[in-house]
Structure 1
């Protein structure tokens, strides 16, 4: 994994949000991925993650996201990314911080564990 690999998937993630393509968005995760949204339940698997992002998009009016990697570390089949995301919502913009554990699955890098929360002042 390299920053180039992470960036390529992150650009797909951003485009999927802009296009409201929840199938593409969910496909960027491993089949056994886990997401930990702020103030929400643990979400497991692509189906659950698709439902989660659909709800976020509908409830918060998410129309765009810009991901910015601050740091990453890697080993042979896994990696860890720390970053910030700027979200465009119906009520304005929000900046969140996130950690993604990446895993190589079937020859491609996918989000395996995903957690984020609001960025304090």
Structure 2
């Protein structure tokens, strides 16, 4: 009987052990090398952001492009994009994790951070379009932070309506 209890405890610990490891952050996904015409989109975006050039950033988008930022309403069109990026500047770093491109549509999936080092603050997807023979343009820039927002303490949450 004692053997069965020990075996059962060992089985529970073995099954539970993988759950404990999930509390440690996963290793970063490897970067991918983009074809030059797609890499240009990321590097032009970084340059525009670093310079605080909201007009230059908006020019990277198709006329009816979107930005879908974390915690903000969607913005559509170059004029709105330029306004949304009016306060944007700093040492932005973009890193590609995956991509695909066909004749006139493509995408880049990646991470972003600011400054030097390995800290990545969030993730993005750039949906891309191009006219035949033209450069790749951003149709939609979708980003979100890597950390979940903290839930306010119960005392600060509105009551649940039932």
Alignment partner of 1:108: what SS?
coil
Larger Rg: 1 or 2?
2
Alignment of 1:48-59 (within 5 A): 48-55=80-87, 57=88
Unaligned runs of 5+ in 1: none
Secondary structure in 2 matching 1:10: helix
Cα offsets for 1:30-76 (capped at 9, x unmatched): 11101111111110001101111114x2xxxx412111110001221
RMSD: 1.9
What TM-score, normalized to structure 2?
Answer: 0.63
1:74-113 alignment runs, 5 A limit: 74-88=101-115, 95-105=121-131, 107-113=134-140
Q: 1:69-101: per-residue Cα shift (whole Å, max 9, x none)?
A: 10001221000111001135xxxx761100110
| TM-score under structure 1 length normalisation | 0.83
> Contact between 1:97 and 1:118, CA under 8 Å: does it hold in 2?
yes
Relative contact order, higher structure (CA 8 A, sep 6+): 1
Larger strand proportion, structure 1 or 2?
1
Q: Is the contact between residue 30 and residue 105 of structure 1 (CA under 8 Å) also seen in structure 2?
A: no
Counterpart for residue 117 of structure 1: 144
Alignment partner, residue 58 of structure 2? 26
Moved over 2 A (4+): none
Query: In structure 2, the residue corresponding to 1:120 is in which secondary structure?
Result: coil
